[in-house]
Structure 1
Amino acid sequence: MTTDPTLIRIGEVVQLAHQGERESARRRFAELWDEIGGEQGDALHRCTLAHSMADVQDDVHQELAWDQRALEAAAQLTDARVASAGVGLTVAGLYPSLHLNLSECHRKLGDLDRAREHLRQAQATIGALEDDDYGRLIRQGLERQVELLR
């Protein structure tokens, strides 16, 4: 469990979104984005917030933009930074979900080649996940995406 105050706040907004308060979640994520320094902020905070912000977008183009921000921020992360925040994943463990989300965005937009490319990247990195609830959730998402892209 994380001890990072910003990650805890992001998690609280995620819970708000899960309760159906998508508009409030978008607004609070935008406020947090500004607080963390936006594109100049800490890579872990940017990755986590952007990944979560993507999930509350109503427009797939906006969802894609946020998912791309999350992937770009992940490329700047180190395992030491992730561990220092008490996150139970390695940097490699972030990529399956990031690529799965990008695959889904491209599928929704009708760009099946890019959707399949991100699906392949997600599949190539899935071994970084444990066989726990989170790992099974992402694996199930990959299986659904394979079916959708047939």
Structure 2
Amino acid sequence: MKKQYILSIEDNRSDIALMKRIFNKEIPNCEVRYIEDGESAIQYFESPDFKNQPPSCILLDIKLPKMNGLEVLDYLRNKKKVNSVPVVMLSSSDRPDEINETYALGGNSYVEKPKSFSELKTRLPKIVDYWVGINKSFQ
């Protein structure tokens, strides 16, 4: 059986460092792979690695360089075979238009990034627990 992993598409290096710290301490059995811009995410979606083993869940930021998260989500949702991977928009934005567009494009969840490390430390394991442990993905 292939090992499950989460794909985080995030450009903020401070957020990545905090997430790595939380995954290492709070969710050590969950592998996380990081991509830092939208164009690299699209290239990864086209790779044999992604096609042979899509992630259990994608954590996607909206404000990404080269191609924003909404464009990445739209691209992913239009790709057969991988368009059912759960996508959680994890963004510092709370703009209603971006939230609505996330759902219109097929995002599964929208979570505003917590303002503090302790909130992120509490929230991130819950997100992973639901989308990787509780939720049953389309097969």
TM range (shorter): 0.3 to 0.5
Give me the TM-score of the superposition, normalised by structure 2. 0.34
Name the one with the larger helix percent.
1
Higher relative contact order by CA 8 Å / sep ≥ 6: 1 or 2? 2
Rg larger in 1 or in 2?
A: 1
Give me the TM-score of the superposition, normalised by structure 1. 0.33
